[in-house]
Structure 1
Amino acid sequence: LSSWFGGLGSGLGHSLGQVGSRVASLTGHINFTKDTLIQGTEEVQELSNSRVGRNEIEAIQTILRSENATLKNLITELKEKASELQLKQQSTNYQYSLQRETQVRLLRARQTALQDQVLQLRSAALSVHFGAGGGPAATALPSFLCGTSTMTWDFADINWSQQEINRLSNEVSRLESQVGHWRHIAQASMAPRTKSSDPSEICNLQDTMKELQQRLSQATGKHQHKMTVLQNAHKQKLTEISQKDRDGFKRESDAENEIIRLHRINQDNNIFTDNQQRNQLWA
């Protein structure tokens, strides 16, 4: 009986040992399965997070591309508007310059014709009164007043051109008055006269001639001074226009550089987005 119990105990011990080893093995399998499930859960979570990050990057990329396209369109519109405004301004200035230049040329031509007429009438009056070579010689008008200036004027300054036109109009009116005066003198001189001329009338005419010559000399000096001032103003205006042109070219260059910079930023953004996508795919 004792031997039977001993065999039974040893059998039970052996069975319990096998059961314990199986339980330990099963526990190990369970732990391994648990670790595998935890690792799989973490990988799924990381994959989900990576997808969310990828969606965010794609959204950012879409926004950047939209902003870059908007900037490009805005820059193009601004360049077109700037070119259009510049052309309109140049066209307006050119038309106004042509109009003012035409007016000034007509007034100068009228001034020259009237001055020639004054000279002819005065010479005729002197020749009738004093005879050939008997009186003071008629003073020729200076080349400044007899010729049309060949200088190319800058009529961009509206105030200056209007003042010049007003001055020439007044000068033409004055010359027309002188033409009428000398025509009256010439007609009176050509009328039949008695053999004995009034000495007082001759003296008065000589005094009048001297006074007119003096006035003409003073007017010539004033005109020469005005011409010098206008020439200096013309040079200064040309300098200002050249400076404006240089500034305009600089602004255009800056705008082109800004466009290039924005284009590079767009390229860098695209490269950065592509690299992010590649890294996510490889991860």
Structure 2
Amino acid sequence: MHTMWKGTISFGLVNIPVKMHAATENKDIKLRQLHKECKSPVKYEKVCPICEKEVKNEDIVKAYEYAKNKFVILDEEELESLKKEQEDKAVEILDFVQLEDIDPIYFEKSYYLSPNEGGGKAYGLLRSALNDTGKIGIAKMIIRAKEQLAIIRVYENVLVVETIHYPDEVRNVQDVPNIPEEVEIVKKELDTAKMLIDQLTNAFEPEKYTDDYRTALMELIEEKKNNEQTTTGKEKAVPDNVTNLMDALQASLERAKKDKPKQTKRKTTAKKKIAT
């Protein structure tokens, strides 16, 4: 399993060297966009609207837009310095809370933690302490140049980091439109709804839930492939240097012929008359 990050998790005087690994993966089927006419993949280029030309990565700088079309430019060295300063800090568990105290709307992405060299005993200590108390840890850490708020908990005998949103990243529910304040509910209807919920209540078994759309899409793709309903995108012709050279030489020769001044024939009639 690929290691995304190495660091130290600490609580109190206990330091745990750990490695972090992605706990989930995106299995969405990625579809390419082709030009309908020639079936070639469409390119997306970074173009400056003022200069009207493609911009290379080395010609791009990062900036913060603090007002309409007004920017503060940030050098890569400045950003790297801030990132390094934060990454060098150990990830300290700030508080311990109950998992039930955090609404699922805050949860973002999951990562597995494994002990790094010499961290096995401290890893096991934190895992046992969390299991026995039923608590989770709240910590801050830098992941991919962003400071993340995270929880540390136990999942099937493995320590897991769950990144969570900061409170100001969760939008205010008061801004959601057309939410009814109070609705008059008929008791019979409510009792029927509760009965239906009871009948559909089961233990959570994640294995029984599958992505039916992804399965159907892959079946359609395989069927088309097996029936040879495929296409090959046209490749851009690679210039032949030899041909180009000959073309250039021929064009130069033709131009030279046109530009060369024509030589006029000498008139010899007068000389012949003098001789006679």
TM-score using structure 1 length: 0.23
The structure where helix makes up a greater share of residues is 1
Based on CA coordinates, which of the two structures has the bigger radius of gyration? 1
TM-score using structure 2 length: 0.24
